[in-house]
Protein backbone atom coordinates (compact mmCIF):
# COMPACT_ATOMS: atom_id res chain seq x y z
CA UNK A 1 0.00 0.00 0.00
CA UNK A 2 2.73 2.47 0.97
CA UNK A 3 4.78 1.45 -2.08
CA UNK A 4 1.81 2.20 -4.42
CA UNK A 5 1.27 5.53 -2.76
CA UNK A 6 4.91 6.48 -3.23
CA UNK A 7 4.88 5.48 -6.90
CA UNK A 8 1.71 7.47 -7.53
CA UNK A 9 3.18 10.56 -5.86
CA UNK A 10 6.34 10.30 -7.90
CA UNK A 11 4.35 10.07 -11.13
CA UNK A 12 2.31 13.15 -10.22
CA UNK A 13 5.50 15.07 -9.43
CA UNK A 14 7.01 14.21 -12.80
CA UNK A 15 3.85 15.17 -14.66
CA UNK A 16 3.56 18.52 -12.93
CA UNK A 17 7.24 19.28 -13.63
CA UNK A 18 6.75 18.55 -17.34
CA UNK A 19 3.66 20.73 -17.47
CA UNK A 20 5.47 23.63 -15.83
CA UNK A 21 8.29 23.49 -18.40
CA UNK A 22 5.87 23.36 -21.32
CA UNK A 23 3.82 26.28 -19.93
CA UNK A 24 6.79 28.69 -20.30
CA UNK A 25 8.01 28.99 -16.73
CA UNK A 26 11.59 28.55 -17.98
CA UNK A 27 13.45 31.96 -17.91
CA UNK A 28 13.19 33.87 -21.19
CA UNK A 29 16.94 34.45 -21.38
CA UNK A 30 17.84 30.80 -20.81
CA UNK A 31 20.09 29.46 -23.61
CA UNK A 32 18.14 27.82 -26.39
CA UNK A 33 20.36 25.28 -28.11
CA UNK A 34 19.92 25.28 -31.85
CA UNK A 35 21.75 23.50 -34.60
CA UNK A 36 23.86 25.85 -36.71
CA UNK A 37 25.81 25.27 -39.87
CA UNK A 38 29.52 26.00 -39.80
CA UNK A 39 30.45 29.51 -40.91
CA UNK A 40 33.56 29.48 -43.08
CA UNK A 41 35.47 32.76 -42.84
CA UNK A 42 38.83 34.02 -44.05
CA UNK A 43 39.95 35.81 -40.88
CA UNK A 44 38.93 35.55 -37.25
CA UNK A 45 40.30 38.09 -34.80
CA UNK A 46 39.58 36.88 -31.29
CA UNK A 47 40.27 37.58 -27.61
CA UNK A 48 40.67 41.31 -28.24
CA UNK A 49 39.07 44.35 -26.62
CA UNK A 50 36.56 45.20 -29.35
CA UNK A 51 35.58 48.88 -29.69
CA UNK A 52 32.91 48.75 -32.36
CA UNK A 53 32.42 52.56 -32.51
CA UNK A 54 28.80 51.99 -33.50
CA UNK A 55 26.13 54.51 -32.45
CA UNK A 56 25.83 52.87 -29.02
CA UNK A 57 29.62 52.73 -28.59
CA UNK A 58 29.33 48.99 -27.99
CA UNK A 59 32.47 47.68 -26.30
CA UNK A 60 33.27 44.01 -25.82
CA UNK A 61 36.14 43.79 -23.29
CA UNK A 62 36.81 40.36 -24.76
CA UNK A 63 35.34 39.60 -28.16
CA UNK A 64 35.87 38.68 -31.78
CA UNK A 65 35.45 39.91 -35.36
CA UNK A 66 34.91 37.48 -38.23
CA UNK A 67 35.77 38.50 -41.80
CA UNK A 68 34.78 36.80 -45.04
CA UNK A 69 36.16 38.25 -48.24
CA UNK A 70 36.08 42.04 -47.91
CA UNK A 71 33.24 42.10 -45.38
CA UNK A 72 32.68 41.80 -41.64
CA UNK A 73 30.22 38.95 -41.12
CA UNK A 74 30.03 38.74 -37.34
CA UNK A 75 31.08 40.75 -34.27
CA UNK A 76 30.46 39.61 -30.72
CA UNK A 77 31.54 39.42 -27.12
CA UNK A 78 33.20 36.49 -25.41
CA UNK A 79 34.69 33.54 -27.22
CA UNK A 80 33.97 33.08 -30.90
CA UNK A 81 31.34 30.39 -31.56
CA UNK A 82 32.73 27.00 -32.51
CA UNK A 83 30.71 27.16 -35.74
CA UNK A 84 33.04 29.87 -37.08
CA UNK A 85 35.74 28.10 -39.06
CA UNK A 86 38.50 30.50 -40.14
CA UNK A 87 41.31 30.07 -42.61
CA UNK A 88 43.39 32.25 -40.30
CA UNK A 89 43.07 33.05 -36.59
CA UNK A 90 44.62 36.12 -34.99
CA UNK A 91 44.86 36.11 -31.21
CA UNK A 92 44.26 39.76 -30.27
CA UNK A 93 44.79 39.21 -26.57
CA UNK A 94 46.37 42.39 -25.15
CA UNK A 95 45.12 44.56 -28.03
CA UNK A 96 42.32 46.98 -28.83
CA UNK A 97 40.45 46.12 -32.03
CA UNK A 98 38.69 49.04 -33.66
CA UNK A 99 37.62 50.33 -37.08
CA UNK A 100 40.28 51.63 -39.41
CA UNK A 101 40.89 55.36 -38.99
CA UNK A 102 39.65 57.87 -41.58
CA UNK A 103 41.85 60.83 -42.50
CA UNK A 104 39.38 63.33 -43.91
CA UNK A 105 41.88 65.74 -45.48
CA UNK A 106 45.32 65.15 -46.99
CA UNK A 107 47.77 66.15 -49.72
CA UNK A 108 49.65 62.86 -49.81
CA UNK A 109 52.40 63.58 -52.38
CA UNK A 110 53.60 66.51 -50.26
CA UNK A 111 55.55 64.08 -48.07
CA UNK A 112 58.42 65.00 -50.39
CA UNK A 113 58.10 68.61 -49.13
CA UNK A 114 57.90 67.74 -45.45
CA UNK A 115 59.76 70.50 -43.61
CA UNK A 116 60.54 72.62 -46.69
CA UNK A 117 59.10 75.79 -45.14
CA UNK A 118 58.01 75.80 -41.51
CA UNK A 119 56.81 78.38 -39.00
CA UNK A 120 55.08 80.62 -41.55
CA UNK A 121 51.56 81.99 -42.06
CA UNK A 122 49.44 80.12 -44.61
CA UNK A 123 49.48 82.72 -47.41
CA UNK A 124 53.24 83.31 -47.06
CA UNK A 125 53.83 79.55 -46.89
CA UNK A 126 51.69 78.87 -49.98
CA UNK A 127 52.57 81.77 -52.25
CA UNK A 128 56.27 82.17 -51.51
CA UNK A 129 57.38 78.59 -50.87
CA UNK A 130 54.90 75.81 -51.68
CA UNK A 131 53.48 77.03 -55.01
CA UNK A 132 56.99 77.84 -56.38
CA UNK A 133 58.37 74.51 -55.13
CA UNK A 134 55.49 72.67 -56.76
CA UNK A 135 55.96 74.52 -60.04
CA UNK A 136 59.61 73.45 -60.12
CA UNK A 137 59.28 69.88 -58.88
CA UNK A 138 55.84 68.35 -59.15
CA UNK A 139 55.53 65.73 -61.86
CA UNK A 140 54.06 62.25 -62.12
CA UNK A 141 57.14 60.63 -60.62
CA UNK A 142 57.15 62.83 -57.52
CA UNK A 143 53.43 62.38 -57.03
CA UNK A 144 53.61 58.60 -57.29
CA UNK A 145 56.51 58.06 -54.90
CA UNK A 146 55.41 60.76 -52.49
CA UNK A 147 52.02 59.06 -52.26
CA UNK A 148 53.64 55.68 -51.57
CA UNK A 149 55.57 57.23 -48.69
CA UNK A 150 52.41 58.84 -47.31
CA UNK A 151 50.50 55.57 -47.57
CA UNK A 152 53.28 53.77 -45.70
CA UNK A 153 53.03 56.27 -42.85
CA UNK A 154 49.24 56.20 -42.75
CA UNK A 155 48.89 52.41 -42.88
CA UNK A 156 51.50 51.99 -40.14
CA UNK A 157 49.47 54.43 -38.04
CA UNK A 158 46.12 52.70 -38.54
CA UNK A 159 44.63 54.92 -41.25
CA UNK A 160 42.67 52.86 -43.76
CA UNK A 161 40.91 55.61 -45.78
CA UNK A 162 42.07 59.10 -46.63
CA UNK A 163 40.68 62.03 -48.61
CA UNK A 164 43.22 63.65 -50.92
CA UNK A 165 43.54 66.79 -53.05
CA UNK A 166 46.48 67.16 -55.41
CA UNK A 167 47.78 67.13 -58.97
CA UNK A 168 48.24 64.12 -61.26
CA UNK A 169 45.66 62.39 -59.10
CA UNK A 170 45.72 59.35 -61.36
CA UNK A 171 49.23 58.66 -60.05
CA UNK A 172 47.96 59.16 -56.50
CA UNK A 173 45.32 56.53 -57.26
CA UNK A 174 47.87 54.09 -58.69
CA UNK A 175 50.12 54.38 -55.64
CA UNK A 176 47.22 54.17 -53.20
CA UNK A 177 45.80 51.04 -54.83
CA UNK A 178 49.25 49.46 -54.89
CA UNK A 179 49.48 49.68 -51.10
CA UNK A 180 46.00 48.21 -50.64
CA UNK A 181 44.69 51.43 -49.12
CA UNK A 182 41.37 53.21 -49.63
CA UNK A 183 41.22 56.74 -50.97
CA UNK A 184 38.72 59.43 -51.88
CA UNK A 185 41.04 61.15 -54.31
CA UNK A 186 40.30 64.60 -55.68
CA UNK A 187 41.82 66.01 -58.85
CA UNK A 188 42.69 69.58 -57.83
CA UNK A 189 41.48 72.48 -59.99
CA UNK A 190 42.70 76.09 -59.76
CA UNK A 191 42.25 79.16 -61.93
CA UNK A 192 45.98 79.66 -62.51
CA UNK A 193 48.50 77.30 -64.15
CA UNK A 194 49.46 74.28 -62.04
CA UNK A 195 51.79 71.34 -62.72
CA UNK A 196 49.17 69.25 -64.55
CA UNK A 197 47.00 71.92 -66.20
CA UNK A 198 47.53 75.34 -67.80
CA UNK A 199 44.00 76.54 -67.00
CA UNK A 200 40.89 75.31 -65.17
CA UNK A 201 39.21 74.12 -68.35
CA UNK A 202 42.13 71.80 -69.07
CA UNK A 203 42.10 70.69 -65.43
CA UNK A 204 38.42 69.81 -65.50
CA UNK A 205 38.83 67.92 -68.78
CA UNK A 206 41.66 65.89 -67.24
CA UNK A 207 39.56 65.35 -64.12
CA UNK A 208 36.79 63.80 -66.19
CA UNK A 209 39.24 61.31 -67.71
CA UNK A 210 40.41 60.46 -64.18
CA UNK A 211 36.83 60.06 -62.92
CA UNK A 212 35.87 57.75 -65.75
CA UNK A 213 38.93 55.54 -65.28
CA UNK A 214 38.62 55.04 -61.50
CA UNK A 215 34.86 55.25 -60.99
CA UNK A 216 34.24 51.58 -60.20
CA UNK A 217 37.47 50.64 -58.39
CA UNK A 218 36.95 48.67 -55.13
CA UNK A 219 39.34 50.90 -53.14
CA UNK A 220 39.40 54.24 -54.96
CA UNK A 221 36.60 56.82 -55.03
CA UNK A 222 37.62 59.51 -57.53
CA UNK A 223 36.54 63.08 -56.79
CA UNK A 224 36.70 66.63 -58.10
CA UNK A 225 38.63 69.09 -55.92
CA UNK A 226 38.35 72.80 -56.68
CA UNK A 227 41.03 74.22 -54.41
CA UNK A 228 39.07 76.94 -52.60
CA UNK A 229 36.65 79.86 -53.04
CA UNK A 230 39.59 82.28 -53.26
CA UNK A 231 41.57 80.40 -55.95
CA UNK A 232 38.62 79.39 -58.14
CA UNK A 233 36.11 81.62 -59.91
CA UNK A 234 32.37 81.07 -59.67
CA UNK A 235 32.48 79.64 -63.19
CA UNK A 236 35.20 77.17 -62.20
CA UNK A 237 33.44 76.12 -59.01
CA UNK A 238 30.18 75.42 -60.82
CA UNK A 239 31.96 73.55 -63.62
CA UNK A 240 33.58 71.34 -60.96
CA UNK A 241 30.20 70.72 -59.36
CA UNK A 242 28.70 69.80 -62.74
CA UNK A 243 31.48 67.27 -63.31
CA UNK A 244 30.91 65.77 -59.85
CA UNK A 245 27.19 65.47 -60.57
CA UNK A 246 27.81 63.93 -63.98
CA UNK A 247 29.97 61.16 -62.50
CA UNK A 248 28.19 61.05 -59.10
CA UNK A 249 31.37 61.59 -57.09
CA UNK A 250 32.40 63.77 -54.12
CA UNK A 251 33.44 67.42 -54.23
CA UNK A 252 36.46 68.21 -52.05
CA UNK A 253 37.35 71.82 -51.21
CA UNK A 254 39.13 74.03 -48.66
CA UNK A 255 36.60 76.33 -46.96
CA UNK A 256 37.04 79.22 -44.50
CA UNK A 257 40.53 78.18 -43.44
CA UNK A 258 41.99 81.58 -42.56
CA UNK A 259 41.04 85.19 -41.94
CA UNK A 260 42.95 86.09 -45.12
CA UNK A 261 40.56 83.83 -47.03
CA UNK A 262 37.59 85.60 -45.44
CA UNK A 263 39.01 88.95 -46.52
CA UNK A 264 39.65 87.78 -50.10
CA UNK A 265 36.18 86.25 -50.51
CA UNK A 266 34.53 89.35 -49.05
CA UNK A 267 36.42 91.50 -51.56
CA UNK A 268 35.40 89.13 -54.35
CA UNK A 269 31.79 88.37 -53.44
CA UNK A 270 30.80 90.68 -50.60
CA UNK A 271 30.14 87.82 -48.20
CA UNK A 272 31.78 84.92 -46.36
CA UNK A 273 33.04 81.69 -48.01
CA UNK A 274 30.21 79.43 -46.79
CA UNK A 275 27.49 81.94 -47.69
CA UNK A 276 29.12 82.53 -51.07
CA UNK A 277 29.20 78.81 -51.87
CA UNK A 278 25.56 78.55 -50.81
CA UNK A 279 24.51 81.55 -52.89
CA UNK A 280 26.10 80.25 -56.11
CA UNK A 281 24.49 76.81 -55.65
CA UNK A 282 27.70 74.92 -54.94
CA UNK A 283 26.80 73.28 -51.63
CA UNK A 284 25.18 69.86 -51.38
CA UNK A 285 25.70 66.56 -49.62
CA UNK A 286 28.59 65.53 -51.86
CA UNK A 287 30.80 68.37 -50.53
CA UNK A 288 33.66 67.56 -48.15
CA UNK A 289 34.77 70.87 -46.63
CA UNK A 290 38.29 70.91 -45.24
CA UNK A 291 38.99 73.19 -42.26
CA UNK A 292 35.79 75.28 -41.78
CA UNK A 293 37.66 77.33 -39.17
CA UNK A 294 36.05 80.74 -39.64
CA UNK A 295 32.36 79.88 -39.66
CA UNK A 296 29.65 81.42 -37.49
CA UNK A 297 26.48 79.94 -36.01
CA UNK A 298 24.39 80.62 -39.10
CA UNK A 299 27.01 79.06 -41.35
CA UNK A 300 27.08 75.93 -39.18
CA UNK A 301 23.35 75.62 -39.84
CA UNK A 302 23.96 76.15 -43.57
CA UNK A 303 26.52 73.32 -43.61
CA UNK A 304 24.08 71.08 -41.76
CA UNK A 305 21.13 71.94 -43.99
CA UNK A 306 23.04 71.08 -47.16
CA UNK A 307 24.58 67.90 -45.71
CA UNK A 308 28.18 69.16 -46.06
CA UNK A 309 30.87 67.13 -44.30
CA UNK A 310 33.32 69.42 -42.46
CA UNK A 311 36.78 68.07 -41.64
CA UNK A 312 38.78 69.43 -38.69
CA UNK A 313 42.59 69.73 -39.08
CA UNK A 314 43.77 70.85 -35.64
CA UNK A 315 47.54 70.44 -35.95
CA UNK A 316 47.84 72.14 -39.34
CA UNK A 317 45.57 74.95 -38.16
CA UNK A 318 47.73 75.38 -35.06
CA UNK A 319 51.04 75.22 -36.96
CA UNK A 320 49.95 77.80 -39.55
CA UNK A 321 48.10 79.88 -36.91
CA UNK A 322 44.95 79.64 -39.01
CA UNK A 323 42.58 79.56 -36.05
CA UNK A 324 40.45 77.15 -34.05
CA UNK A 325 37.41 75.65 -35.77
CA UNK A 326 34.18 75.67 -33.73
CA UNK A 327 34.07 71.87 -33.59
CA UNK A 328 32.12 71.53 -30.30
CA UNK A 329 29.46 73.86 -31.70
CA UNK A 330 29.30 71.85 -34.93
CA UNK A 331 28.89 68.60 -33.01
CA UNK A 332 26.26 70.17 -30.77
CA UNK A 333 24.36 71.26 -33.89
CA UNK A 334 24.33 67.66 -35.13
CA UNK A 335 26.97 67.94 -37.83
CA UNK A 336 29.09 64.87 -38.48
CA UNK A 337 32.61 66.31 -38.21
CA UNK A 338 35.59 64.34 -39.49
CA UNK A 339 39.24 64.81 -38.64
CA UNK A 340 42.26 65.15 -40.91
CA UNK A 341 45.97 65.80 -40.75
CA UNK A 342 46.22 68.09 -43.79
CA UNK A 343 49.33 67.54 -45.88
CA UNK A 344 52.67 66.45 -44.45
CA UNK A 345 54.21 69.78 -45.49
CA UNK A 346 51.98 71.67 -43.06
CA UNK A 347 51.68 69.30 -40.11
CA UNK A 348 54.36 67.59 -40.46
CA UNK A 349 53.25 64.05 -39.66
CA UNK A 350 50.13 62.22 -40.80
CA UNK A 351 49.44 60.35 -37.56
CA UNK A 352 45.71 60.35 -36.82
CA UNK A 353 46.16 59.07 -33.27
CA UNK A 354 48.29 62.13 -32.59
CA UNK A 355 45.71 64.32 -34.36
CA UNK A 356 42.88 63.07 -32.12
CA UNK A 357 44.92 63.87 -29.03
CA UNK A 358 45.57 67.39 -30.32
CA UNK A 359 41.92 67.95 -31.21
CA UNK A 360 40.62 67.01 -27.78
CA UNK A 361 43.20 69.16 -25.99
CA UNK A 362 43.00 72.14 -28.34
CA UNK A 363 39.30 72.61 -27.73
CA UNK A 364 39.68 72.22 -23.99
CA UNK A 365 42.16 75.10 -23.80
CA UNK A 366 40.46 77.30 -26.39
CA UNK A 367 37.15 77.06 -24.51
CA UNK A 368 38.68 76.76 -21.03
CA UNK A 369 36.35 73.80 -20.55
CA UNK A 370 37.94 70.36 -19.98
CA UNK A 371 34.64 68.60 -20.77
CA UNK A 372 34.03 70.17 -24.17
CA UNK A 373 35.44 67.40 -26.41
CA UNK A 374 35.94 63.96 -24.90
CA UNK A 375 38.38 61.26 -25.95
CA UNK A 376 35.45 59.14 -27.11
CA UNK A 377 34.16 61.98 -29.31
CA UNK A 378 37.63 62.53 -30.76
CA UNK A 379 37.90 58.84 -31.65
CA UNK A 380 34.45 58.91 -33.24
CA UNK A 381 35.60 61.79 -35.48
CA UNK A 382 38.24 59.46 -36.90
CA UNK A 383 35.84 56.52 -37.26
CA UNK A 384 32.02 56.66 -37.39
CA UNK A 385 31.59 60.44 -37.62
CA UNK A 386 34.48 60.63 -40.06
CA UNK A 387 32.76 58.07 -42.28
CA UNK A 388 29.55 60.12 -42.16
CA UNK A 389 31.42 63.31 -43.04
CA UNK A 390 32.76 61.73 -46.24
CA UNK A 391 29.49 59.90 -47.01
CA UNK A 392 30.89 56.41 -46.42
CA UNK A 393 28.99 55.48 -43.25
CA UNK A 394 27.06 52.78 -45.11
CA UNK A 395 30.26 50.74 -45.45
CA UNK A 396 32.89 52.09 -43.03
CA UNK A 397 33.44 53.70 -39.63
CA UNK A 398 32.29 50.97 -37.26
CA UNK A 399 32.75 47.25 -36.69
CA UNK A 400 29.35 45.87 -37.68
CA UNK A 401 28.22 42.91 -39.76
CA UNK A 402 27.75 43.94 -43.37
CA UNK A 403 30.38 46.68 -43.36
CA UNK A 404 33.72 46.49 -45.13
CA UNK A 405 36.50 44.77 -43.23
CA UNK A 406 38.67 47.79 -42.42
CA UNK A 407 40.08 47.36 -38.91
CA UNK A 408 43.20 47.79 -36.83
CA UNK A 409 44.86 46.23 -33.79
CA UNK A 410 46.53 48.53 -31.25
CA UNK A 411 48.53 47.39 -28.24
CA UNK A 412 46.66 47.64 -24.94
CA UNK A 413 49.27 45.84 -22.84
CA UNK A 414 53.03 45.35 -22.65
CA UNK A 415 53.83 48.96 -23.58
CA UNK A 416 54.38 51.47 -20.77
CA UNK A 417 52.11 54.15 -22.21
CA UNK A 418 49.12 51.78 -22.27
CA UNK A 419 49.38 50.60 -18.68
CA UNK A 420 47.30 50.90 -16.61
CA UNK A 421 44.17 51.44 -18.69
CA UNK A 422 40.94 52.42 -16.95
CA UNK A 423 39.11 53.65 -20.04
CA UNK A 424 39.94 52.37 -23.54
CA UNK A 425 38.97 55.59 -25.35
CA UNK A 426 41.17 57.67 -23.06
CA UNK A 427 44.09 55.25 -23.46
CA UNK A 428 43.87 55.27 -27.26
CA UNK A 429 43.48 59.02 -27.70
CA UNK A 430 45.66 60.42 -24.93
CA UNK A 431 48.31 57.73 -24.43
CA UNK A 432 48.97 55.82 -27.63
CA UNK A 433 50.44 56.76 -30.99
CA UNK A 434 51.14 55.31 -34.41
CA UNK A 435 53.90 53.08 -33.05
CA UNK A 436 51.29 51.16 -31.04
CA UNK A 437 49.48 49.88 -34.15
CA UNK A 438 50.47 46.27 -34.84
CA UNK A 439 48.06 45.23 -37.61
CA UNK A 440 46.08 47.01 -40.30
CA UNK A 441 43.40 45.25 -42.36
CA UNK A 442 41.81 46.99 -45.36
CA UNK A 443 39.00 45.46 -47.40
CA UNK A 444 39.68 42.14 -45.68
CA UNK A 445 43.37 42.12 -46.63
CA UNK A 446 46.17 42.33 -44.06
CA UNK A 447 48.34 45.19 -45.34
CA UNK A 448 50.52 45.71 -42.26
CA UNK A 449 51.73 43.28 -39.60
CA UNK A 450 54.91 42.28 -37.78
CA UNK A 451 56.29 45.77 -38.31
CA UNK A 452 56.15 45.76 -42.12
CA UNK A 453 53.80 46.52 -44.99
CA UNK A 454 52.83 43.41 -46.92
CA UNK A 455 52.36 44.80 -50.44
CA UNK A 456 55.27 47.16 -51.13
CA UNK A 457 59.03 47.28 -50.74
CA UNK A 458 59.59 50.05 -48.20
CA UNK A 459 63.36 50.14 -48.77
CA UNK A 460 62.74 50.93 -52.44
CA UNK A 461 60.45 53.81 -51.49
CA UNK A 462 62.96 55.33 -49.06
CA UNK A 463 65.69 55.20 -51.71
CA UNK A 464 63.51 56.94 -54.29
CA UNK A 465 62.46 59.65 -51.84
CA UNK A 466 66.13 60.46 -51.19
CA UNK A 467 66.59 61.06 -54.92
CA UNK A 468 63.55 63.34 -55.03
CA UNK A 469 64.73 65.21 -51.94
CA UNK A 470 68.08 65.94 -53.59
CA UNK A 471 66.31 67.28 -56.68
CA UNK A 472 64.01 69.51 -54.64
CA UNK A 473 66.92 70.81 -52.55
CA UNK A 474 68.75 71.87 -55.69
CA UNK A 475 65.69 73.75 -56.95
CA UNK A 476 65.35 75.66 -53.66
CA UNK A 477 68.93 76.95 -53.97
CA UNK A 478 68.33 78.58 -57.34
Spatial CA neighbour of 112 closest among 138, 88, 135, 136: 138
**pLDDT (average), residues 103-117:** 93
Q: Are 38 and 15 in contact (CB under 8 A)?
A: no
Looking at residue 32, its pLDDT comes to 35
Instruction: Indicate whether 478 pLDDT > 70.
Output: no
Kindly report which listed range (22-31, 43-52, 113-122, 246-255) carries the lowest average pLDDT score. Answer: 22-31
Looking at residue 389, its pLDDT comes to 98
| HEC assignment per residue over 241-294 | HHHHHHHCCCEEEEECCCHHHHHHHHHHHCCCHHHHHHHCCCCCCCEEEEECCC
Chain segment 244-276, per-residue pLDDT in tens = 999 999 999 999 999 999 999 999 999 999 999
Looking at residue 36, its pLDDT comes to 57
**How far is 273 from 256, CA to CA, in rounded Å?**
6
Phi/psi at 164 (nearest 5 deg)?
A: -120, 155
Distances 426 to 294, 422, 431 between C-alpha atoms, Å: 29, 8, 7
Kindly report which listed range (30-34, 291-295, 384-388) carries the lowest average pLDDT score. Answer: 30-34
What percentage of the chain carries pLDDT values higher than 90? 84
Instruction: Indicate whether 70 pLDDT > 50.
Output: yes
Confidence of residue 33 (pLDDT cuts 50, 70, 90): very low
**pLDDT (average), residues 80-108:** 97
**pLDDT (average), residues 82-99:** 97
Chain segment 190-244, per-residue pLDDT in tens = 999 999 999 999 999 999 999 999 999 999 999 999 999 999 999 999 999 999 9
**pLDDT (average), residues 315-320:** 94
**pLDDT (average), residues 370-378:** 97
Confidence of residue 283 (pLDDT cuts 50, 70, 90): very high
Chain segment 412-468, per-residue pLDDT in tens = 998 999 999 999 999 999 999 999 999 999 999 999 999 999 999 999 999 999 999
Length of the chain: 478
Instruction: Indicate whether 38 pLDDT > 90.
Output: no
Confidence of residue 339 (pLDDT cuts 50, 70, 90): very high
Q: Are 47 and 90 in contact (CB under 8 A)?
A: no
Instruction: Indicate whether 338 pLDDT > 80.
Output: yes
Q: Cβ-count burial of 21 within 10 angstroms (0-12 exposed, 13-18 middle, 19+ buried)? A: exposed
**pLDDT (average), residues 320-331:** 96
**How far is 159 from 180, CA to CA, in rounded Å?**
12
Instruction: Indicate whether 24 pLDDT > 70.
Output: no
Q: Are 58 and 76 in contact (CB under 8 A)?
A: no
Looking at residue 12, its pLDDT comes to 36
Amino acid sequence: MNRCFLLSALCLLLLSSTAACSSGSQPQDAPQPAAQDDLAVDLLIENGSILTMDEAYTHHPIGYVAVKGDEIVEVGGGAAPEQIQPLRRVDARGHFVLPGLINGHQHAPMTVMRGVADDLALMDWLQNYIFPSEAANVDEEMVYWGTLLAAMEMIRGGTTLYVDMYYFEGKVAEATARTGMRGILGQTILDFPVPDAHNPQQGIAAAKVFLAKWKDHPLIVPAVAPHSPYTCSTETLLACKAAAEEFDVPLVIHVAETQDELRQVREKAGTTPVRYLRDIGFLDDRVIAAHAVWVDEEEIEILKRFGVGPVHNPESNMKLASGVAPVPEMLEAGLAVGIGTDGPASNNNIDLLDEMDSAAKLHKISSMDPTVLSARQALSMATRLGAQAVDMEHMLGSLEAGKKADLILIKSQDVPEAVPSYDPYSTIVYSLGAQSVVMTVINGQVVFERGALTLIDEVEVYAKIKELQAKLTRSLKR
